Amino acid sequence: MTFDPRTHPSVRDWLAGARKAMRCAGRQTPAASGRTIDVIDPATESVIASVPDADAVDVAAAVEAASAELTHGTWPRASSAERERVLLALAAAIEAHADELQHLIVLENGKLLSAARREVDGCVRFVRYTAGWATKITGETLDVGFAPAAAGVFAYTRREPVGVVAGIIPWNMPLAMAAWKSVPALMCGCTVVLKPAEEAPLSTLRLAELAYDAGLPPAALSVVTGHHGNWEIGSVLMRRSMPARIGRRAFARSRGDFSASTCPHEDHCSRACGPAGLRYDVRRLRAQH
């Protein structure tokens, strides 16, 4: 008997909807150029869906929307308890749609159903755990005994959102890594722009939909899809002055592409390079050279 994840009712209904679009500030948008790329089922080499093939114009629009939300929107100004509530609702939504999500991952990624289920279950636990940190991150009251007694000085620190966070997601664990890159940043009140791998963008798009349904302001999370051969996407994400943090996982063939010439914000970049799972921060590399 042949297993076909497309026969799952929820997956079939979702794929049968309108052509999959990017999520820019919650809006479903095509690429400015009108180009699309096909998402291929690696088991059958058949086309699952078409998604927009973004370019620099689309990425700039997503980053600007995220920046506007950061400056004027509600998410960075929401209480820590409210951010925790929304992210716990997202964890519950992922759990409620676990069967659908695992079949979608199998369809776009080709991994075993059991492995896809572990990815979804781990994603639920991670989002739930991270949500709890929203009310646990605090500042400090500082000793200012060196100041004149009559000065009435009071010093403290307060942690605030760092800014717009860009996350570049690989194909091998598309749902889990989309959560790893986005949820901690959202928990802190940052806004996020995700760029999933062209081979497996569907679960990231579905994650964004679940986040909106859970109560996340649409402008707090955008998803830009595009071809990995289009260097403009990553370049614009890394070169624009607004993104304050960039998270990326790269394999050996792309390690050399992630350099000071590509990313002038290297002090704010972190990445993990496979296949051995070596993790490091660019700032440590600078200190060594």
Any domain includes 180: yes
Could you identify the residue written with the tokens 């109560």? Answer: 215
pLDDT given at position 9: 86
Burial tier of 190 (Cβ tally within 10 Å: 0-12, 13-18, 19+): buried
Each residue's pLDDT tens digit, 195-223: 999 999 999 999 999 999 999 999 999 99
Closest CA to 18 of 165, 180, 194, 209: 209
Any domain includes 5: no
pLDDT given at position 10: 86
With beta carbons less than 8 A apart as the criterion, state whether 185 and 157 touch: no
pLDDT given at position 20: 72
Any domain includes 258: yes
Any domain includes 4: no
pLDDT given at position 226: 87
CB atoms within 10 A of CB 36: 17
**DSSP-assigned beta bridge partners for residue 166:** 193, 246
CB atoms within 10 A of CB 81: 10
CA 119 to chain centre: 16
**Residue range(s) defining the domain that contains residue 47:** 10-288
pLDDT given at position 228: 65
Any domain includes 272: yes
Any domain includes 229: yes
- CATH code, 120: 3.40.605.10
Any domain includes 3: no
Any domain includes 2: no
CA 254 to chain centre: 19
With beta carbons less than 8 A apart as the criterion, state whether 59 and 49 touch: no
For the chain, the domain total comes to 1
| This model's pTM is above 0.85 | no
With beta carbons less than 8 A apart as the criterion, state whether 197 and 169 touch: yes
Q: Is the dihedral of CA 18, 22, 24, 25 positive or negative?
A: positive
Q: What is the pLDDT along the chain (289 residues), one digit of tens a residue?
A: 456 776 788 888 888 875 578 888 778 888 988 999 999 999 889 999 999 999 888 988 999 999 999 999 999 999 999 999 999 999 999 999 999 999 999 999 999 999 999 999 999 999 999 999 999 998 888 887 777 766 678 888 888 888 889 888 989 999 999 999 999 999 999 999 999 999 999 999 999 999 999 999 999 999 999 886 656 676 677 665 344 555 554 443 443 444 444 455 445 555 544 333 333 333 333 344 4
Alpha helices in 133-218 (DSSP H): 174-187, 202-213
User: In 131-172, at which residue ranges do the beta strands (DSSP E only) sit?
Assistant: 141-142, 155-156, 164-168
Structure token pair of residue 267: 């002090």
